[in-house]
Structure 1
Amino acid sequence: MSGHSDGTSRASGATLPAVTQSDELANESDGAARTDGEHSAAPDGAAGHAPAPPPASPGGYRAAFEAARLPMAVLGRDGLVTAANPAFGELLGKDPRALADASAADLTDLGGDPHVWAAYRDVLAGRSDRLRCTRRLKHPAGHSVWAEVSVEPLPGGDDVLLSVADVSDRHDLQARLRHLQMHDPVTRLPNRALFFERLAVALESATYDRGGTGRIGLCYLDLDGFKAVNDTLGHRVGDRLLGAVAERLARCAERPAGRAGRGGRLVARLGGDEFALLVEDSTGTEQLADLAQSVLDALQRPFDLAGQRLSVSASIGVVERAAAGTTATGLMQAADTTLYWAKADGKARWTLFDPERNAHRMTRQALSSTLRPAVDRGEFTLEYQPLVGLGDGRAQGVEALVRWRHPQFGTLPPNRFIGLAEENGAIVELGRWVLERSCHQARAWQLARPDEPPLFVSVNVAVRQVWDSDLVADVAGILDETGLAPELLQLELTESAVMGSAGRPLQALQALSDMGVRIAIDDFGTGYSNLAYLSRLPVSVLKLDGSFVRGFRSPEHPNPADETIVEALVGLAHRLGLTVTAECVENADQAERLRRIGCDTGQGWLYSRPLPADRVPVLLAGPPMTGEEGERG
């Protein structure tokens, strides 16, 4: 920057060209100029700031000034050189006398940084008593010099002293130490710390630099099955593999993938077998998808490592978005989630971030975290769907179906939260509440209709309830409390849970059956279908999965296979003393064919949708539910 001075500009002398690379202030963070009046030693034992007399003084101070090996110059308050010593002239490759009236800011690039320039002007104006900064200057011989420039007022006058110390060796050492600190020793790639530093800078520059695309992209990957390499071949081979992978990733980053943006790319090892490819100023998802595919293609080729021929694949999460409004944390969370999707989808692939899928995941997390408190807050309610005799159309029982009246997401059906409850253990508390509420309601209906056959209530039970609680004691206590007869309670477990029962689950089922409680296998026909278990388990009811019933076509287009399978299952169940309920009965033709086959009860929208408890008596008071009236509820 030429012509800088604090006051009237005069013709400047020879200047020292500055390297156009961002400079930093020595010993200060964030480039802030130091004006605290501290003193420091110059390299090689030279005085950091040699005292200098006013230029007119002919005494010993002048001789010391001239003989000093530290480059120095005396400046006026206008920032122009009034005197320079030979060392200063040698640094610039000029006769020191020719530097008189030259702008010191131009000679030492003090105007190249706004923060430094402001701090320099404060010293000249007397608002600050010191400036120390580090600038990268070009020596007349052609090489660069890292110089520590200090400016401070001289005592007893209006002049200031500028000194320049060559700190290139110190700077180079610091640079080498920083490189070691910020790079991974195994792969020699930037490490996690440098990656996040670069990511923060990229987000900031992309947000405010209107000349670029304003977007950023990230491929976040880890190697599939890398742990097996370490476990079987040792960490030395594992490290060699990581190094070889790093080389291929670096080549992928150098090679344009699709339409390359103007921004740079950074390949980093984040730890273990995790790597990241950062694309600054990305041009869109197509560019990132091409880059991810090139990585997969590059890693497919086997690696030859000291006689070991290894093959490896990677799962990659791909995120590309506008930099504005994006944080480093948010970007990494999205990338980590997408990497998880890639692994869950089968590994050895890349997956693009999907906001809708992520919203569903976030919803799952929100539901999971609030399940337990929701039971205490009374957010759950029950609805009941009739189980109708196919012979007479009369309701013999009802299935209790839990609903979650969520304050944010509205009323949720069981398939939205039962799986989550099983995962986090909330199913035990929720299941106990459903069981207790259902038995109370069944007993209330029985007392309200003393002259009618009582309805049994069917309650779904998760296998985790058997393992994590004393289900037998819970059932016995609830039946005793409500006064409901054991034969009016039916517990439904899925086929996969019942067929593999052994040990404690089998003992619990047997105890419940001995108590008089009915045990039903839900969704029968979709799990293990190990029919040999039916003769050994205390099961009383089979509930055929709805897929069999939906497979019944109209009379004009019959599907004999479905009907044959159902007929065989019904016949087998009856020979074993079991009753059969068909789920998902939706039309009268299905009901008639099931009745003809010999199925005992049906359940579905043909008879009624799930109803609140207060509407069940109204349904029971109506005519038989033969299906001829159409859909109810």
Structure 2
Amino acid sequence: MDRFDLAKCDANDGLWDWNLTTNRIRFSPRWISMLGCEQQEIGNTPEEWFRRIHPEDREEVQRGIDLQLSGSPDQFQSQYRMLHKDGSYRWMSCRGLVIRDENGQAVRMTGSHSDITAERVADSLTGLPNRILFLERLSHSIERVKRHNDFLFAVLLLDLDRFQSLVDRLGSASGDQLLVAVARRLERCLRSGDTLARLGRDHLLARLGGDEFIILLNGLAEVGDAKIVAERLLKAISAPFEAGGREVFASASIGIALSVTGYGCAEDVLRDADTAMYRAKSLGRARCEVFDTAVLESDQTRARLEADLRGALERQEFLLHYQPIVDLASRRIRGLEALARWNHPLRGVVPPQEFIPVAESTGLIVPLGRWILREACRQLRDWQQSLSISQEVSVSVNLSAAQFIQPELVEQVGEALQEFNLEPHCLVVELTESVIMENPEAVISLLMRLRVLGVRIALDDFGTGYSSLSYLRQFPVDLLKIDRSFVRGAAASADSVEIIRAINWLAHQLGLRVVAEGIENEEQLDLMRSLGCEDGQGFFFSRAVDSDHAARLLKAEVAQSEERGARAQGDGESVALAAACSGDFYTAVCAGPQPDAPPRWKESRLKRRAVSVSLALAGLMLLLVVGIVVRPDRIPQIPYPSPQADLAADAVPSSAAAAPTRQSETAAGQSDPQVGFQDGTPASTPAVHETAELTQPGGVSADSGARTSPAAGPGKT
């Protein structure tokens, strides 16, 4: 730029000439009028210029001028905001040229100002004001609140839902058409008489960028008006649009920030409106939410939690707790569910309901889930070696939806089993109905691969999801876990009882074992057992405890099992006698020899012998009636039990005769009842149960509470 360029400046440009020797500036009439001032209101000092520059821009402008005066470069150019007389800031493009004397000393600066506010504050696509202008207007509203306590304003941040998927489907050109159409519709809605009555005297619609629009509502009569306007905007957006020659349906989520919160700067208002908008999306989209400080505190806590969570695994801050899963008939531990706990260095133990959702939303659940799998397998193998627990005791781990989309999941499970030399049936993977139904076909395929490994599969929280029976029939599942809400409501709700009964019937038809979650008292235990549940889990037995506490539970059970075995071998008759009289094998073991026990076992033995013979004869008669010819050499021999066999038979639950898979357990003295673990310590129950062969509704044995399906394989009984 030189003096000739200055002479050609547009008539709309304001000129200035700065005498560096006298430090005086001459401003042209146009330069003065661009700021809304009269000639007499502007002096001739540099202060008239620089004090009007926006505080955020002043330092940069001064630096550019100083650099030019120092000799490099000779030309100066900058864009910044200058204060208008009406209190607003206008964007100016300033160009300047340094004039030097024969010694190279700067003696003058001359240049021009051009008002570029329109191009700086307008969105090029929609023609709406942009973020710059919006923030400026919002700043004025904040200052107005400080002067007038009764002045109310609201900021509505509107974001189109799933806009990127629309662009992917329609193309970027159609996406732009949709944004323009949304802008025009919002303008019409805000100009309507009914809406203006709510808005007061002043409002501003702007586009922040992308698919975000923002509205400033000034002079509201009351804070509730902001939500009324937001709901009208959502209704307007829900009507179909035309983009790319196609009818397109869209929805939006709106976050609302109110001036009553108390703000010092415009960016804080946008931050809170943005927080409320994302909350609206998290609650289902196509809705509006008003910001409050509790939401901000929650988000800040979540952000800190996420930051801490990222390094927690490397810092070894996670540990596993284990909650026993108990056979309701024998009260023995069949397995333990591994539950993650986070031992935060400052907050202490963080509940899983706080950090698991954060881990899932950030993808950290994948490495965390991998660690849980390996640690649970390692711990179970350690117990097997150090405590000599049964190989039938399993450990259960929960898998999230994020883990199920990992192609290497099956390989990770196989590697964990191999690394710790663990039998596959000792591992149970748990997943919820919602995880399966996100992509049923893919999940079924993955579950089949896990079944090939020999791993057992449990469907958790059953009854609360939305899986169809047709899919359930295809799921390679071994166990159904009834959600605790049904167990809790069963005592007072006949509907819950019937739901549990139906789940048990369905499970047993499919050869599945049923676990009742959330058992908290003896009444619930007896009810679940009578309805057909084989296993239970809940505070009645034990809370989730750390590995040392869980080891004491397992060790106590191993010791009791060994003691029972020794006593049964040394004095089997008195043990069997006590068991027959009480129906409580654990009580019989604790009681020891009973020389004066009543002769009820003899009656039981005779009854059992008669029943065996009667059933066998009835079966043969049925074959003859239906006309089936049986070769004499293939007619099975009718077993006639000896007195010694009757003694042993009377010492076990009657259901064992109908469940071969449980006979081997009972013969080893492993089916004796044991009450709930209170504070991790086994204690005997004083209750006395009858051993008469009574059956509960649904064909469930009164003394075992179990039904064995012919399809049940190893680990299913």
Q: Report if TM-score (shorter chain) is over 0.5.
A: yes
1:87 is matched with none
CA contact (8 A) 2:24 2:44 kept: no
Q: Could you tell me which residue of structure 2 aligns to residue 190 of structure 1?
A: 129
The question of whether the paired residues in 1 share the 8 Å contact of 2:15 and 2:27 is answered with: no
- Give the structure 2 partner of residue 547 of structure 1: 485
The partner residue of 1:613 within 540, 547, 557 is 547
Residue 624 of structure 2 aligns with which residue?
A: none
Tell me which residue corresponds to 1:518: 456
2:470 and 2:84 map into 1 onto residues whose CA distance is 84
1:361 maps onto 2:293 in alignment: no
In the aligned structure 2, how far is the partner of 1:360 from the partner of 1:593?
A: 41
d(CA) in 2 for partners of 1:323 and 1:113? 42
Q: Are 1:387 and 1:396, in contact at CA under 8 Å, matched by a contact in 2? A: yes
Q: Which runs of 5+ in 1 are unaligned?
A: 1-24, 49-105, 120-133, 138-166
Residue 221 (structure 1) aligned to one of 158, 179, 201: 158
Whole-angstrom distance in 2 between the partners of 1:311 and 1:485:
54
Q: How far 1:117 sits from its partner (Å)? A: 12
Q: Does 1:321 align with 2:255?
A: no
**1:578 and 2:517 correspond:** no
Give 1:434 shift: 0.9
Structure 1 letter corresponding to 2:183: L
- Which is helix-richer, 1 or 2? 2
Aligned counterparts of 1:218 and 1:406: Cα–Cα separation in 2: 38
Q: Deviations over 1:151-182 (max 9, x none)?
A: xxxxxxxxxxxxxxxx9xx98xx45x533543
Aligned to 1:589: 523
1:56-455 equivalent positions in 2, closer than 5 A: 108-110=40-42, 116=48, 174-175=114-115, 177-184=116-123, 189-203=128-142, 205-206=143-144, 210-212=147-149, 217-222=154-159, 239=180, 242-243=183-184, 245-250=186-191, 255=196, 257=198, 265-271=203-209, 274-279=212-217, 285-286=223-224, 288-289=226-227, 291-292=229-230, 315-321=253-259, 326-345=264-283, 349-450=287-388, 455=393
Aligned equivalents of 2:331 and 2:190: distance in 1? Answer: 69
Determine the structure 2 residue equivalent to 1:565. 499
Q: 1:42 to 1:444 in 2, by over 3 A?
A: closer
Superposition deviation, residue 412 in structure 1: 2.3
Contact kept? 1:381, 1:405, Cα under 8 Å: yes
Contact 2:401 2:435 in 1 (8 A): yes
Q: 1:457 to 1:336 in 2, by over 3 A?
A: same
What residue identity is the alignment partner of 2:317? E
- Indicate whether 1:490 and 2:425 are aligned: no
Bigger Cα displacement from structure 2, 608-617 vs 508-517: 508-517
Q: For residue 515 of structure 1, report the CA deviation from its aligned partner.
A: 3.0
Q: TM-score, normalised by structure 1?
A: 0.63
Report if aligned partners of 2:24, 2:46 keep a CA contact under 8 Å in 1: no
Relative to structure 1, is the Cα distance of residues 116 and 239 closer, same or farther in structure 2, using a 3 angstrom cutoff?
Answer: closer
Task: Name the CA distance, whole Å, in 2 between partners of 1:302 and 1:513.
Answer: 48
Secondary structure of the corresponding residue to residue 376 of structure 1: coil
Structure 2 counterpart of 1:243, which letter? R
Give, in angstroms, the shift of residue 512 of structure 1: 3.1
Distance 1:442 1:220 in 2: 52
Q: 1:33 to 1:299 in 2, by over 3 A?
A: farther
AA aligned opposite 1:276 = I
Tell me, yes or no, if the aligned pair for 2:326 and 2:536 is still in contact at 8 Å: yes
User: For the Cα contact (< 8 Å) 1:383–1:612, is it kept in 2?
Assistant: yes
* Superposition deviation, residue 523 in structure 1: 1.7
Mapped partners of 1:429, 1:240: distance in 2: 44
Change (3 A) 1:513 1:37: same
Contact 1:224 1:348 in 2 (8 A): yes
| In 2: Cα distance, 1:136 partner to 1:466 partner | 60
Residue 146 (structure 1) aligns with: none
Give the CA deviation at 1:617: 3.2
Aligned to 2:93: none
Deviates more, 1:529-538 or 1:221-230: 221-230
Residue 190 of structure 2 aligns with an amino acid whose one-letter code is: L
1:383-416 deviation line (CA, Å, top 9, x unaligned): 1100011001111111010011233544223332
Q: Which residue of 2 aligns with 1:21?
A: none
Counterpart code for 1:448: S
**Residues 440 and 201 (structure 1), Cα distance of their counterparts in 2 relative to 1, 3 Å cut:** same
Task: Give the direction of change, closer, same or farther, for the CA distance of 1:542–1:35 in structure 2 (3 Å limit).
Answer: farther
Q: Alpha-carbon deviation of 1:337? A: 2.4
The separation in 2 between residues aligned to 1:335 and 1:282, in whole angstroms, is 17
Distance 2:160 2:479 in 1: 48
Q: Which amino acid in 2 is paired with 1:109?
A: E
Residues 35, 516 of structure 1: CA spacing in aligned structure 2 closer, same or farther, 3 A cutoff? Answer: farther
CA apart distance, 1:613: 0.9
Q: Is the 8 A contact 1:108 1:135 kept in 2?
A: no
Query: Aligned Cα RMSD in Å?
Result: 4.9
- Partner of residue 20, structure 1: none
Q: In structure 1, what residue type is equivalent to 2:208?
A: L
Question: 1:310 and 1:514 mapped to 2: Cα distance?
Answer: 46
Distance 1:549 1:434 in 2: 28
> 2:482–2:516: 8 Å Cα contact kept in structure 1?
yes
Give the deviation of 1:345 after TM superposition.
Answer: 4.3
CA contact (8 A) 1:519 1:541 kept: yes
Q: 1:217 to 1:432 in 2, by over 3 A?
A: same
Partner-residue secondary structure (3-state), 2:405 = helix
Moved more, 397-406 or 498-507: 498-507
Residues 580 and 325 of structure 1: is their aligned pair in 2 closer, same or farther, counting only changes over 3 Å?
same
* Cα offset, 1:628, TM superposition: 6.1
1:583-609, CA deviations, whole angstroms, 9 ceiling, x for partnerless residues? 111221111111122211100111111
Q: Tell me, in whole angstroms, the C-alpha distance in 2 between the residues paired with 1:365 and 1:135.
A: 38
Structure 2 distance, partners of 1:302, 1:478, is 53
Q: 2:154–2:256: 8 Å Cα contact kept in structure 1?
A: yes
Distance 2:250 2:383 in 1: 64
Q: Provide the C-alpha distance between the structure 1 equivalents of 2:675 and 2:340, rounded to a whole number of angstroms.
A: 29
Question: What is the Cα deviation at residue 380 of structure 1?
Answer: 0.8
- What amino acid maps onto 1:182 in structure 2? V
Task: Give the paired residue count.
Answer: 489
* Cα distance change on mapping 1:567 and 1:331 into 2, 3 Å: same
Q: Is the 8 A contact 2:444 2:475 kept in 1?
A: yes
Checking the alignment, whether the CA contact within 8 Å between 2:482 and 2:517 is kept in structure 1 is: yes
Structure 2: how far apart are the matches of 1:501 and 1:42? 72
**Distance of aligned partners of 1:546 and 1:183 in 2 relative to their CA distance in 1, 3 Å threshold:** same
In structure 1, what is the equivalent of residue 414 of structure 2?
476
Equivalent residue number for residue 563 of structure 2: none
- SS state at 2:156 partner: strand
Name the TM-score, length of structure 2 as normaliser.
0.57
Contact 2:27 2:44 in 1 (8 A): no
Change (3 A) 1:322 1:600: same
Percent identity over paired residues: 36
